[in-house]
Structure 1
């Protein structure tokens, strides 16, 4: 008997891990499938066949004379009742568990809804209600309300942030942990269904057959449940309140003086209002899933609802193709089969699975290395001047670029050493060395680091042909170490019909409506699936009890991922390069940037721009220009990457605000002003709220409630040193002065890492807010560079001027460089230095005779220039330049002459 692995994995729970017991080793698995056991692709990637038998896992071997079992006819997906759940709770006084106040259920079926609120026997853990008993009461209530006419067999159970509510039930970990799986820090079904006992706590695992039991009337029933987290089906993961607004079912406000942390007091004082608040939440959840179901069924024509918006995007994309069964070939897969013989079967089993074709696997690692994320940098540190600052955005950036993707002829890929072979609209991948001209403001080739992508003037990187084309036109010297071109097999655009369809659907919906936002999110999610799991990303597997690697998506393809993100970075790099030199760029973030340049001052005519324009207009021929204005502001603060705050707003525009990971209480009305004040008032050692929710790993392994794990973390609003800081000046910000700095690219990644390591240590006790702070930091940096001088042994935390004073004493003691002991006694020299801020003893001056004379070791800093001026004024015959590094002596002379 031959059956598809697709059916086995999705419906029986049989996976490659289960099959290991049949003698299939890890080596055999890799050699056959090309991936380890745990690098499993999502179920939608498997071949679909008609289901012909009951699940295999856990089934006892059949006796020879046992009659063949009939397959259960499941209720069609969109005819199943939706049961939404929610719980209200507060943290216990001891802070070790949550006190459950109530359980809410809403059963929605064919537009009609029934609700019920249940209260635990006590707020202790022992008083919690069991999920199965709650379901019985909710279903019976729905039947009394004539929402359900009969007991259901298949149901959909959902919650907005499922893992926060599901495990608030009694013995939930024992009942459910083998039936659900962690997904994006929440919970979704591990398998399509599992049986739940309606009368008593389930103790059987997923590999046991569901129980047939009796309800309170002694009628037998079995429920087959599919779990959904509606948060994963909300545009941008919106809150329940935001979803309620979209659905025009607003949340009930908690009246003062109560709050979410005082729900127990709310319940005691106003039980009716508490019930209204609680039941409204669960109604929103039920209506949300109903709306998503309608979207999937009527708008997309799907047969069920995937667990995430990304999953919906994949299903919708597959449906848009003419060949829905052969689409995997477009992504470089072929079918491979293998015969195995599980121990509990009487006949062998033939498994069929999609794996990358051999030609694609040849460059799989190389193409993955060429894949990087978006370009994210800050080009200033501190406040901007008052001007018109524009936030520009590339419309539909990644969605449009996916229209460049065509089927690849992997077996025709070729190597090249000719740089021009890599230019143009090609899937071209390269490993290169590069060097940009010294005056390049925005180098376009990214180098990976532990701090994200760095764009230095020189280095070595893996990149795409798009990026090399921009770099070449910037005047970069590029040496190819290894490069490949993978030709397009044809000119059929894989995503074109899907993206056009989505664009038209968005236009047909009211802007800002649920369906419009859902469609937008779905289109934006699709490209992200191209890169899923290209680089190791681990997540906690609830069933396994340990962390496993996130599996690839159905659409995962490193060649496509590299092409898409490479063209996006190339486009942004070209746009940055085209901004006039007298204009300032505040920051760039993935597909947009902040600058005081006007739109007509930015060159949009380059070959990369035209390449993107052609793709963008494939979606929408009337889509307009490839750069559009999103926000404006009169004054900004650029703190670091992804941290920009609006100081002075522009009328008619929302403020620009990126918090850089800092949490702000949602009750704060003007969050941008709050961040500005925090930035200006910050001090070294300041701490902010760094509380986090109990991780799934801890909850499942320790059976712990979801709680806010409170902690404080050090505030970090200092510049991240991705560029070299230059040109300090002081700028007024709402009546307060703060340093403002421009930047220029680092010469190399090593220079950046050298600076970042030392700055991270310096900022533990300092903030970069004033010119004095700047001089102190620069002094620390140059002293770190001076430490490489083998002749100089620096003292701990020695400053540049202290070093200079110490070396100056040696020239006095040796009577070299134009100074003599006749000019001043050792005691008088010591007193003079002490009076000028350099505590010195006469014995120290005399003992300097024993030390070696060192020339050219003093760096040029604000402090050393000040000391040089002091020494020259006292000892005009002393050749002070002899102390300084020869490369910086001209700067010293300019400073001395200016004084």
Structure 2
């Protein structure tokens, strides 16, 4: 029967029909019963243009994981009166003139391209779309929480009619008894039946409403019959919004491990997703008919642009406003269902429709979206980068872009934990030994953003909040590619044991990585070489007391411009990949330019602020994150293996590109800050890609940045056609600047950064009430500030097989210090008390002072430790309190009194693991790791474990490594001892106490 005949014979049923089912997965006599409500209605989203996200309330982010979710309440809520009713929004939208869009299916016009087709014609969007067809099903659930128990009230599932795509099939499943939950396979098969999904061309002809008959696939071999049954599947992509709440509502009891959906999921970008589809299979009571599903999961949280993640915002964007409920209904949805059943159905199913319709215009009708928006951006880079680099496929791109090849095609993987997890986890390895050296150096030099509070206190002066325009995309556009194929180190000699000059690092984009020690002149206010310790970046005046740090070219270049002495223990210069015309290859510049051009085109087609334009904006911003994925090794919960595991790199991870990008952004800010102070102005705060200063944005734009500005402007012109680097984000005439990421102005539109402090319920973020709350809290504090918050279980707690938790809130009691974090040294001679008057007339003292670099990292660590001790019972708010801190700092003991053997042992191990020295026996891969560790113990320095071996390579440990000269003569003797030779009293001076 043709589609037209089916549509003609099947009447449109806009009214709900219902029937009862029993979930028979569990072979017991009290299987839970459910009522299934079904209807088929016109698709609302296809009767209207997509909206533009515009209002302030719509731009807010959704609550983070520890905050609430719809349907969850911590206790009994206000009872609803029988007369309460929702405010039902009309599901059609109007165009810009106020006229209602015409009814009808968009499939009737074969000439005019749909919105999705227009968007999909853009090069970057085409590359971002995976292109895999599937049957998409929107999911939402309603629940109520009372007395610590979550009761599921309904499951809403919606899908597009496979015969008439202008129609939506809506299914609502309601348990008969409180506490009953349905299995995912039962719920999804109800959708298969209601929407006649077996008619889809994606489904084999063997599939019927009852499933697949045993005769079509059976084999006595269990694996063979399971695999054959899997080929007779219905391919479904389940789409939800914040899956932590919805995907945890399905029953797992009575199901085998292989049928537990939660163990197939991964936490990503704020939602829950699958990395690949999983099977759901079951047979009837007689084993004659079998139902087979292939299920992928996508979460709109991972696909929505930043700041646009609330479901109401997504609904506005796709032309389906979220339905408003009367006050108190969310916390008492069971009563609302009882008293307003039809409205309850409309409300719940509308949320599921939003989840589904949000995807179509962006990722294509009936196509699986990427796992995350960042994943889509990575796919776009692979496509554009392959074209730019002249390689045929993704494997060729990885080889040319990051020097990574498939396992067995390169240098080989070691079995001693010496591999970088970003490639080892994905079954890849460096192209050759030179590539491995350069990657490890780059990974060591990779750090996060620059964040600091150089001028704490209270200031009644005009200041501006100034940002780098597209900071990370601009920096990516400055990074040159390397010639991995020709040997990434090329003909440049490895630098060893000498001072660096500007000839070694002639520009900010020179591809150089080195292990350096340094000293800056006393008049340099902002040194540029960071040391990672105490979970943060510290910029000391010198590296005295440490063995040094890995650093990338941009910050080394600036250090040399500032007159620093930089000694390089070992350094590598990468060979630049050149075009035939003699210009350097910059594949990231090409990729980012394409994304920005397509975003500009999307703005022309769909309007500024449209979903399409915002999606491409977010793609540009997330690209860097995928390049840096797992460069700083990270671990996450593997639900299938039920253990913490390395997350692994992305398809575009490159330690070199990541390290250069972040270093360029930090260097740009540090160069600017030094020149601002050289011009007699001040920098009050710096945060990742911008800063607060009493210099205007116009004045900042004129700075030369020690010669760096021209190179940055060249990248800006290549990306946007506009050479301007900076943009003003706001201004204020008052500033309470108390710590890193902590400052507030009472001026509307001024800065308001909370330092992690939660806003009380009922206060709108950035409102005058919010500003007054934060201001008062900081200036009146006498110690740590109470900061309780509501927390929901982690993904690990939700998906573990033993002691699994339900998605229920708990209250966490904690407090937070609002004291200055001492990343820089207070200048005590500049300290003064500013008296701040609150609206109630009370006056409070706030210590206000300048800062300077710490002389050494050790000084910074000791100062921060003293401040943490003080914060346990008091705070650092007044001048007297700061004088007390200074007294303890000035007369306290140092961190190191002696150099114990354990410190020597671990420092030697770190030096070897970071490639600063080569100890033959430790490098002998023909020996087992245990044999090498036993050899090291033979030197009499103490015991060493597998964990010590692994941890010695971690970047946060390297700052604790002793200077190399303090490891002598032990280090030289180890390096000179032939591989495998056992230490003896003649070649070891460490066996004696």
| 2:565 corresponds to 1:468 | no
Q: By how many angstroms is 1:438 displaced?
A: 2.0
1:407 alignment partner, SS class: coil
SS at match of 1:105: strand
Cα deviation for residue 756 of structure 1 reads 0.4
Distance 2:350 2:630 in 1: 38
Listed one character per residue, the Cα deviations across residues 303-341 of structure 1 (whole Å, up to 9, x for unaligned) are 852201111011111222323412122221234559xxx
Offset of 1:500 from its aligned partner? 1.6
Secondary structure of the residue that 1:462 maps to in structure 2? Answer: strand
Q: Distance in 2 between matches of 1:89 and 1:390?
A: 46
Residue 720, structure 1, aligned to residue 818, structure 2: no
Aligned to 1:415: 494
Residue range with higher mean Cα deviation, 759-768 or 655-664? 655-664
Q: Displacement, 1:234? A: 1.1
What SS does the corresponding residue of 2:745 show, helix, strand or coil?
Answer: strand
1:494-535: per-residue Cα shift (whole Å, max 9, x none)? 123322221111112222111111111111111222221122
Shift in CA distance, 659/399, structure 1 to aligned 2, threshold 3 Å = same
Change (3 A) 1:586 1:90: farther
Correspondence 1:236 to 2:271: no
Give the Å deviation of 1:185. 6.1
| Aligned position for 1:549 | 646
Q: What pairs with 1:340-351 in structure 2 (closer than 5 Å)?
A: none
1:85 Cα offset (Å): 0.9
Q: After TM superposition, list the pairs within 5 Å mapping 1:408-807 onto structure 2.
A: 408-409=483-484, 410-412=488-490, 414-416=493-495, 417=498, 418-420=500-502, 421-424=504-507, 425-459=509-543, 460-490=548-578, 491-508=584-601, 509=603, 510-581=607-678, 582-602=680-700, 603-605=702-704, 606-621=706-721, 623-649=722-748, 654-665=749-760, 667-669=762-764, 670=767, 671-701=770-800, 702-726=803-827, 727-734=831-838, 735=841, 736-739=843-846, 740-784=848-892
Is this contact kept in 1: 2:745–2:752, CA < 8 A?
yes
Contact 1:194 1:226 in 2 (8 A): no
Greater relative CO, 1 or 2 (CA 8 Å, sep 6+): 2
Given candidates 89, 111, 122, the residue that maps to 2:177 is 122
8 Å contact 2:442–2:552 — kept in the other structure? no
- What is the RMSD of the two structures over their aligned residues, measured on CA atoms? 3.1
Q: Which residue of 2 aligns with 1:133?
A: 186
Give CA deviations for 1:410-468 in whole Å, capped at 9, x if unaligned.
Answer: 14153234422122131111222222222322221111112311112111322112112
Rate the CA distance shift 1:504–1:666 in 2: closer, same or farther, 3 A. Answer: farther
Q: How big is the shift at 1:357?
A: 0.7
Give the TM-score normalised by the residue count of structure 1. Answer: 0.70
1:471-509 alpha-carbon deviations (Å, 9 max, x no partner) = 122222222222221120212221233222211111122
Structure 1 distance, partners of 2:674, 2:740, is 19
**What residue ranges of structure 2 are gaps of 5+ in the alignment?**
1-129, 210-232, 410-425, 579-583, 899-993
Whole-angstrom CA distance in 2 between matches of 1:730 and 1:92? 50
Query: For structure 1, which segment, 752-761 or 99-108, has the greater mean C-alpha deviation from structure 2 after superposition?
Result: 99-108
For residues 624 and 572 of structure 1, the distance between their equivalents in structure 2, rounded to whole angstroms, comes to 17
- The answer for the alignment partner of 1:313 in structure 2 is 377
Q: Distance in 2 between matches of 1:748 and 1:788?
A: 13
Find the aligned partners of 1:517 and 1:554 in 2 and give their Cα distance: 23
**Number of the residue aligned with 2:324:** 253
Give the secondary-structure state (helix, strand or coil) at the position aligned to 1:288.
helix
Give the aligned partner of residue 58 of structure 1.
none
1:263–1:450 Cα change, 3 Å: farther
Distance between the aligned counterparts of 1:615 and 1:564, measured in 2?
13
1:707-744 deviation digits (Å, cap 9, x = unpaired)? 22321101221111111223232142545333133322
Structure 1 CA distance for aligned equivalents of residues 185 and 772 of structure 2? 49
Partner residue of 1:397?
471
**8 Å Cα contact 2:677-2:683 kept in structure 1:** no
1:191 maps to which residue? Answer: 276
The CA distance in 2 between the partners of 1:596 and 1:213, in whole Å, is 78
Following superposition, the deviation at residue 625 of structure 1 comes to 0.8
CA shift in 2, pair 1:247/1:212, >3 Å: farther
The DSSP-based 3-state class of the residue aligned with 1:334 is strand
Contact 1:318 1:324 in 2 (8 A): no
- Give, in angstroms, the shift of residue 556 of structure 1: 1.4
Q: Provide the rounded CA distance (Å) in 1 between the counterparts of 2:870 and 2:694.
A: 32
Q: CA deviation at 1:691?
A: 3.3
Aligned pairs for 1:163-174 within 5 A: 163-171=244-252, 174=256
Against the structure 1 CA distance between its residues 483 and 583, is the aligned structure 2 distance closer, same or farther, given a 3 Å change threshold? Answer: same
Q: Are the aligned partners of 1:81 and 1:107 in contact in 2 as well (CA < 8 Å)? A: yes
- Asked if the contact 2:279/2:292 (under 8 Å) is kept, the reply is no
Question: Distance between the aligned counterparts of 2:166 and 2:683, measured in 1?
Answer: 53
Could you tell me the TM-score, scaled by structure 2's length? 0.63
Task: Report the alpha carbon displacement of residue 251 of structure 1 after superposing the two structures with TM.
Answer: 1.9
Deviations 1:142-170 (A, max 9, x none): 34999999868222111112232112112
Q: For residues 636-662 of structure 1, what are the alpha-carbon distances to aligned partners after superposition, in whole Å with 9 as ceiling and x for unaligned?
A: 22221122222223xxxx332222222
The structure with the larger Rg is: 1
State the shift of 1:546 in Å.
Answer: 0.6
The equivalent of 2:439 in structure 1 is: 364
Contact 1:84 1:286 (C-alpha < 8 Å) held by counterparts? yes
Decide whether the 8 Å contact of 1:193 with 1:226 is kept in 2: yes
Q: Which runs of 5+ in 1 are unaligned?
A: 1-75, 201-210, 215-219, 298-302, 339-351, 791-899
Work out whether residues 570 and 608 of structure 1, in 8 Å CA contact, stay in contact via their aligned partners in 2: no
Match of 1:108 in 2: 160
Cα distance in 1 for residues equivalent to 2:646 and 2:314: 31
Closer/same/farther in 2, CA of residues 378 and 407 from structure 1, 3 Å limit: same
Distance of aligned partners of 1:185 and 1:503 in 2 relative to their CA distance in 1, 3 Å threshold = closer
* 1:755 Cα deviation after fit: 0.6
Indicate how the Cα distance of structure 1 residues 472 and 252 shifts in structure 2: closer, same or farther if over 3 A, else same. same
- Say if 1:336 and 1:704 are closer, same or farther in 2 by CA, change over 3 A: closer
Question: Residue 182 of structure 1 contacts residue 542 of structure 1 at CA under 8 Å; is this kept in 2?
Answer: no
Rounded to whole Å, the distance in 2 between the matches of 1:620 and 1:244 is 31
Native 8 Å contact 1:112 1:147 kept in 2: no
**Partners of 2:435 and 2:144 in 1: how far apart?**
53
CA distance in 1, matches of 2:894, 2:624: 48
> Structure 1, residues 192-212: CA drift from partner, whole Å, max 9, x if none?
342443868xxxxxxxxxx99
> Using the alignment, how far apart are the partners of 2:297 and 2:888 within structure 1?
57
Query: 1:576 Cα shift?
Result: 0.7
SS of residue paired to 1:534: coil
Residue 271 (structure 1) shift: 3.3
Q: Could you report, residue by residue, the CA deviation over 1:110-147 in whole angstroms, capped at 9, with x for unpaired residues?
A: 353222322222222xx112222222333333349999
> Which moves more between the two structures, 485-494 or 749-758?
485-494
1:408–1:488 contact (8 Å) kept in structure 2: yes
Alpha-carbon offset, residue 393 of structure 1: 0.9
> Is the partner of 1:580 in helix, strand or coil?
helix
